[in-house]
Amino acid sequence: MALKLIPLTPMEVAFPNELLVALKEEPEGFRQTVLIYTLGKLYELGRISGGFGAQILGCDRWEFYRLLSENGFAVIDYPNHELEAEADTQGWAIAPNSP
């Protein structure tokens, strides 16, 4: 199944070049990092879903959650019904909930 990439609206946010030098980042890598942090905060605040964030990044939901987790965002609050629905959609087996 092909991932549906959502077109991005160009927006300019300026950072001093010294920041990129200090972080040892290339502009494109830094842009991706800023996008992940922005989406992570919006997800954390409940403003966007994991699926929507994944679409914006052009990855699946699990990759989106992995990226958020690697960058310090909590993704554990994944509701059981959503986890079960995603597992069904993807054909994954998950352990049943204990009573």
Using one digit for the tens of pLDDT, what is the confidence trace for 6-27? 888 888 889 999 999 999 999 9
Angle at which helices 27-44 and 50-57 pack, to 10 degrees?
Answer: 170
Give how far the C-alpha of residue 65 lies from the chain's centroid of Cα atoms, to the nearest Å.
Answer: 5
| Of 89, 83, 47, 92, the residue nearest 65 (C-alpha) | 83
What integer pLDDT is reported at residue 8 of this predicted model?
A: 81
pLDDT of residue 78: 62
- Please state the rounded mean pLDDT for residues 48-76: 91
Say which DSSP state 6 is in. P
Kindly report whether the global pTM for this prediction surpasses the value 0.85.
no
The pLDDT > 70 percentage for the chain reads: 85
